[in-house]
Every structure is written in structure tokens, then in C-alpha cells.
Amino acid sequence: MKEKRNVEELVDRLIERSESETQQKERKKRRRIKIKKGEEKTVFLIFLHIGIFLIVFSSVAMVCMLPPTADIPPPKILGEISNKELYNFIVNRTVWYGLNTNLFIGDYKYKLTSVSEIRRFLRKDYTDRFFYDDDEFDCDDFATRLYGQITIPGWSEICFGEICYLDKESGEYHCGNIFVTKEGKDLVIYTIEPQNDSIKKTNRLKNVIFIFFS
């Protein structure tokens, strides 16, 4: 009887020991899974922070490496135009869109320079290298930035401004830049697409919403 009891106790202890080892294995397994998940989360966060850093660094570096337009030598001047002459010239060559149109001329007179001088400025200016983004940095932002870049000592008196018009092909408003120069004895209008620095000569401006010369 005593031997039977001893055998039963031994079996119970073996069962308890077996269950304990199984539980220990389960705990170790769960711990390994937890550690693995934690490591995956840590690796993901590391790569996420690296990605954010690279995006911010590249954006800041691009802006910091842009050459200052203030270092561009002033343009050669061909002549001058008064605000009244400019007003009459623009009005006679513009087809306005709708009733809420505006022509703003801020100065009493402006200086005229050649297309080649404007091209020289554009080669030094990096507005066209920015990335287009709807609403964040779209056509009006490109036009405003280029206008701001050229509004520096030596260049700010140039007859250069912004223009907004309705693009009939897309049915959307579009903003760009405009400047007036003289070729021979004639005044001439040029428009600029600040997103790619393309320059176009035009005899007539169509579907214009506003033109701004400061």
C-alpha cells in the first residue's frame, strides 16, 4: 500500500514537473514572439525617422543651395516707360475676362530691358526647380516667387509683373509672369511660364483676370 502511494506521488510530481516545463516553454515562446514584434516595431520606427529626416534634409538643402538672385548684376537698360504709357499699352492689347478684372500699376515709371537680360536672370534663378503641388505650391506660387526674386536692387524697376488668365483649353485659371520691353521703336509684351522659364512673345493678352506691376 505504501509502495503504491509512493508510485502515485511520483507520478503526480512527474505530471506537475511536465506541466511546469510545458508552461515554461509556452512562456519562452510567447516572450520570443513579443520580442520579435517589438524588434519589428523598433526597426519600422527607425526607418520611419530616417525617411522623415531625409525628406526634410533634402528640402532644406535644396533651398539652402539655391543661389541668391541678389548677386546677379543689374540689367542693361533700353529706356523707360511711364505708368500712363504702360496703362494705355496694356489696355489696348488685352481682352479681359468678366467684370471683376484688375490692372494694377504701382510706380510712376519703369525701366525696360531686353529679352536676353531677362533670360540671363532666369538662368541664375531656380524658381523653375521647385516641385509643383496642387494648392501647396501651384502656378500662382511659382509666379509670385519669380516676381519676388526679381524684386531686388537693380532689377526691381524693370517693367515686370504677374498675370492671371483663364486657360480656354483646360478651363482653369493660370498664373504666370509678364514683362514689357522695346524692340526698335515698338513696345512688346512677353509672358513667362515660371515653372519652366519658357518665354513667349504675344501681341494680345486674352481672357485676363488681372495684371500686376508694382
Helix (H) or strand (E) holding 196: none
What is the reported pLDDT for 150? Answer: 94
Q: What is the rounded distance in angstroms from the CA atom of residue 179 to the CA atom of residue 166?
A: 19
My answer on whether 99 and 153 are in the same domain is yes
My answer on whether 74 and 53 are in the same domain is no
My answer on whether 117 and 197 are in the same domain is yes
pLDDT along the chain (214 residues), means of 10: 55 56 62 57 56 51 52 92 96 84 92 97 93 88 94 94 90 94 96 97 94 92
My answer on whether 99 and 172 are in the same domain is yes
My answer on whether 142 and 123 are in the same domain is yes
For the chain, what is the domain count? Answer: 2
Range 137-146 contact pairs with CB under 8 angstroms and sequence separation of 24 or more: 139/174, 139/175, 139/176, 139/194, 139/195, 140/164, 140/175, 142/175, 142/176, 142/194, 142/195, 143/175, 143/176, 143/177, 143/194, 144/175, 145/194, 146/177, 146/192, 146/194
My answer on whether 57 and 90 are in the same domain is no
Question: Which structural domain, as residue segments, surrounds residue 13?
Answer: 1-65
Q: What is the rounded distance in angstroms from the CA atom of residue 212 to the CA atom of residue 72?
A: 23
Q: In a 10 Å sphere around its CB, with 0-12 CB exposed, 13-18 middle and 19+ buried, how is residue 166 labelled?
A: middle
What is the reported pLDDT for 76? Answer: 96
Scored b (16 or more CB within 10 A) or e, 113-140 reads beeebbebbbeebbbbebeeeeeeeebb
At 142, which CATH number?
Answer: 3.30.460.70
Of 20, 35, 65, the one marking the end of a domain is 65
The total number of residues written for the chain in this structure: 214
What is the reported pLDDT for 56? Answer: 47
